[in-house]
Chain A
Amino acid sequence: MTDIFAKHAGLREAYSGLTAASPRNPFEVVIERPISASVGIIEGRETLLFGTNNYLGLSQSRKAIDAAVETAETMGVGTTGSRIANGTFGLHRKLEAQLADFFGRKHCMVFSTGYQANLGTISALVNKDDILLLDADSHASIYDGAKLSGAQVIRFRHNDPVDLEKRLARLKDHPGAKLIIAEGIYSMTGNVAPLDKFVDIKTRHGAYLMADEAHSFGVLGAHGRGVAEMQDCEDGIDFIVGTFSKSLGTVGGYCVTDHDGVDLMRLCSRPYMFTASLPPEIIAATMAALEDMQERPELRARLQENAARLHAGLQKVGLKTGEHVSPVVAVTLETVDQAVGFWNALLENGVYVNLSLPPATPDNRPLLRCSVMAAHSPEEIDRAVAVFGEVAKHFGL
């Protein structure tokens, strides 16, 4: 009998090497419970959380908690069905209308996760006769959506409009539809995409453009509509996809657009159709979090100040960060051993960040991915930077 797990031999070896060198398994960190948006209990200790996606701290929104509790009390905790069968409640429609209104778009589809929003949108929009042009550093959900679609996939260099244009020019006689996909803020590095430049290019070449604003929704733009709003190019973006699991603090995903053709996507997008819809208390909490976000623009201002403080602080203690000041600040290290040691020391000193290892990182080097929240106090940020500085010194960096 063929060993069904034989194919994982390489992975097992890499994994064993990694966990042998680390006092704790980096993939099995347990936050016993959060105490607030910025502090959780890990290994029995109060730990500063600098590795979440809770940018506005809204996972702890009073308004969202109350809405969830009240809705669970009155409607129960689940829908037990697909959006196209018994899984659409009045609330799902209300949230879609609220999001369409927020983005100033005609249509909105809500999916059960952000991952499925990408899978469901991409796989419904293109098929084997079409071409997808993906930023090389795209999130796994975009690559997986591309695979599910069956379209021909061409990667262009990360954030590089010239490279994108060159590739589109090569395709000028290709009869299929062309869909360009980029993110707003890149989740690992904090890099911001030049969406305004991509809009010029897509217009010149007769392509469509989709932006995944997962990490920029609620975070950038005067109203929190993301990089497209910040760069004043929303009209040129055909489809905006995003998630509730970051700035809004709940779970779920969406796609908004002005194209009427998406009506039929509800009947051909498999990741939309063949899965249970979001439970009503999540929808209610998401609607309340969206209102909270709109009513408190100061959260976004606070977040930007905090991002600048962390970014400058880490640079000041001599660490290598990206150039973009955004709520994701990635410290690049050279070797995996160094990164694993550094990450353990941070945790032992009360700071949790994300350990990101190749091949999930862009240029084959490990990253300590830090993210800030509006909910961090200046003292918490300074404390985290101080710990980073001490650990860096200990490792001779």
Chain B
Amino acid sequence: MADSVAVISGMIIEKLLANPKVPRDIDGNSKIVEDLAFDSLAVMNFVMEIEDELDVSVPLDKLADIRTINDLAACLHTLKVAHA
């Protein structure tokens, strides 16, 4: 069964909070670049960690449209469903 967007979003937040530099008050609507101060490389590297967890690969062009944690979760969910 593919996880729902909310479940994936929760998983992303949990992983992000494992990094002490990430602000404590993030939620699904937090903007990855602006609120988390991630640069493009940091975003790509973080996505790699999530990819392993969900067993999907996110093509880089998909990342261009992602602003918030929920956007990322939705993207991962779509890929996961397509792959299942």
The residues of A with any CB-CB pair to B shorter than 8 Å are 131, 136, 146, 152-155, 157, 167, 170-171, 358-359, 364
Q: Is B81 among interface residues, defined by CB-CB distance under 8 A?
A: no
Asked if B42 and A167 make an inter-chain contact with CB atoms under 8 angstroms apart, the answer reads no
Q: Which residue of B lies closest to A171 (CB)?
A: B57
Asked if A153 and B45 make an inter-chain contact with CB atoms under 8 angstroms apart, the answer reads no
Q: Is B6 among interface residues, defined by CB-CB distance under 8 A?
A: no
By secondary structure, the A interface counts as: mixed
- Listed A/B pairs (8) with beta-carbon separation below 8 Å: A152-B59, A152-B61, A154-B58, A170-B55, A170-B83, A171-B57, A359-B39, A364-B41
Q: Which residue of B lies closest to A360 (CB)?
A: B41
How many Å lie between the Cα of A219 and that of B15 in the bound state?
A: 42
How many Å lie between the Cα of A77 and that of B11 in the bound state?
A: 61
Asked if B60 and A157 make an inter-chain contact with CB atoms under 8 angstroms apart, the answer reads no
Asked if B83 and A155 make an inter-chain contact with CB atoms under 8 angstroms apart, the answer reads no
Q: Is B75 among interface residues, defined by CB-CB distance under 8 A?
A: no
Asked if B48 and A136 make an inter-chain contact with CB atoms under 8 angstroms apart, the answer reads yes
Asked if B40 and A157 make an inter-chain contact with CB atoms under 8 angstroms apart, the answer reads no
Q: Is B56 among interface residues, defined by CB-CB distance under 8 A?
A: yes
Task: From A131, A155, A358, A359, name the one whose CB has the most chain B CB atoms within 10 angstroms.
Answer: A155
Q: Is B2 among interface residues, defined by CB-CB distance under 8 A?
A: no
Q: Is B22 among interface residues, defined by CB-CB distance under 8 A?
A: no
Complex interface: chain A residues within 8 A of B7 (CB): none
Asked if B44 and A153 make an inter-chain contact with CB atoms under 8 angstroms apart, the answer reads no
Complex interface: chain A residues within 8 A of B39 (CB): 359
Asked if A170 and B44 make an inter-chain contact with CB atoms under 8 angstroms apart, the answer reads no
Asked if A136 and B61 make an inter-chain contact with CB atoms under 8 angstroms apart, the answer reads no
Known: A136-B48, A359-B41, A364-B42. A153 touches B60 (CB 8 A): yes
User: Taking the nearest CB of chain A, how far is it from the CB of B19, in angstroms?
Assistant: 12
Select A136's contact among B42, B44, B56, B57, beta carbons within 8 Å. Answer: B44
How many Å lie between the Cα of A55 and that of B60 in the bound state?
A: 34
Asked if A154 and B44 make an inter-chain contact with CB atoms under 8 angstroms apart, the answer reads no
Complex interface: chain B residues within 8 A of A167 (CB): 57
Q: Which residue of B lies closest to A154 (CB)?
A: B57
Q: A152-B61, A154-B57, A359-B39 are in contact. List 6 more A-B contacts (CB 8 A).
A: A136-B44, A146-B60, A154-B58, A154-B60, A170-B57, A364-B42
How many Å lie between the Cα of A120 and that of B39 in the bound state?
A: 28
Q: Which residue of B lies closest to A14 (CB)?
A: B39
Asked if A155 and B60 make an inter-chain contact with CB atoms under 8 angstroms apart, the answer reads yes
Q: Which residue of B lies closest to A359 (CB)?
A: B41
Complex interface: chain A residues within 8 A of B40 (CB): 359
